[in-house]
Amino acid sequence: MARPAARVPAPDGALAHGGATENRVREGGVVVWHRGMTMVLETPGVGGLDEAVDALRGWQDDGAPTQLHPGDLGWFRRFGAEATGAAVRTWRRDGRIVAVGLLDGATLLRMTVAPDVRRDEELARRIVEDVADPRRGVLGEGQAFVEAPTGSLVQDLLTEAGWEPDEPWTPLRRDLTEPVGDPGVRVEVVGPERVDARVAVQRAAFDRSTFTRERWEAMAAWSPYARARDLLAYDDRGEAVAAVWSAGPGRPGLIEPMGVHRDHRGLGFGVAITVAGAAALRELGSSSVIVCTPSANAAAIATYTSAGLRPGPEVRDRRRDDA
């Protein structure tokens, strides 16, 4: 429930920034480079995905605002390596990745920046210019959305540029210092022998799900999945699924996605699988478990709250209605 199921990812490609720039294509993706400057926008391609995930992993912190998580890229990887490489954007300064974005469909950029440059004006203005200009290969013309961390200068400058706050989302978090407790149902870690059951519950939990065995295999083939646990909870009344993604010891872990079979809702499976996911993340060394859901989804908020997560201040994407 952290985000709507990812839409079809945008194609690869980027155009130069105006007349004083040039494209440089290097192994792994497309580069948009400013002559005489050190800021570089890249589509890293398959070869650059691990570096982008490593950067995201290092930025996760319990004191940070809700932001793009390595697990978001891990879950997106179900669309395949090429599609994921084409959907990621990175911004570098002096060779260092300082911002990472994921095109979760053609109209939504989910992005975050390194903690030490969250209020950096040069970086924030460059990112805002890049997302506002369709020629730069990030977002196209027409309505578009940007998810940026609350308190970041990127979000402030988007607002100044006329991007409106979109619908509110509620982040929730549970500290994992203490043991989580028993979920009260049987929980299995999904491996190749349980994929068909996992796929069936996923498709029964989300009406427009396109999840398949092939997509699970694509997701499981990438390195972030080694830090994840795919869980199936069930008893004789029903079943639920969740994937949880660790960012490493001492860092917050993410639930993405979580779903209950449509025929078995209202029986406590959402709470049970969330508790099971939190316990799995604690075993992986995560400091907390986080999730973000639309504020209008009262049932989801109630489920997560019953599983011990506590809601934080609402967050909002920024929306552009006209190109």
Is 309 inside any structural domain? yes
Report pLDDT for 323: 53
**CATH code for the domain of 109:** 3.40.630.30
For residues 202 and 293, membership in a common domain is answered with yes
What is the arithmetic mean of pLDDT over 106-115?
97
d(Cα 307, Cα 195) in Å, to the nearest integer? 25
End position of a domain, from candidates 168, 188, 223: 168
Higher pLDDT, 3 or 197: 197
pLDDT digits (tens, 9 = 90+) for 30-58: 555 554 458 999 999 999 999 999 999 99
For residues 121 and 215, membership in a common domain is answered with no
Per the confidence metrics, is the pTM higher than 0.75?
yes
Q: Specify whether the CB–CB gap between 90 and 20 falls below 8 A.
A: no
What sign for the dihedral angle of Cα 305, 188, 198, 5? positive
pLDDT digits (tens, 9 = 90+) for 177-206: 999 999 999 999 999 999 999 999 999 999
Q: Could you check whether the bond before residue 313 is cis, i.e. omega within 30 degrees of 0?
A: no
Report pLDDT for 31: 57
End position of a domain, from candidates 149, 168, 187: 168
Boundaries of domain holding 29: 21-168
Say which range, 5-9, 202-206, 239-243, 301-305, has the weakest mean pLDDT: 5-9
For residues 156 and 59, membership in a common domain is answered with yes
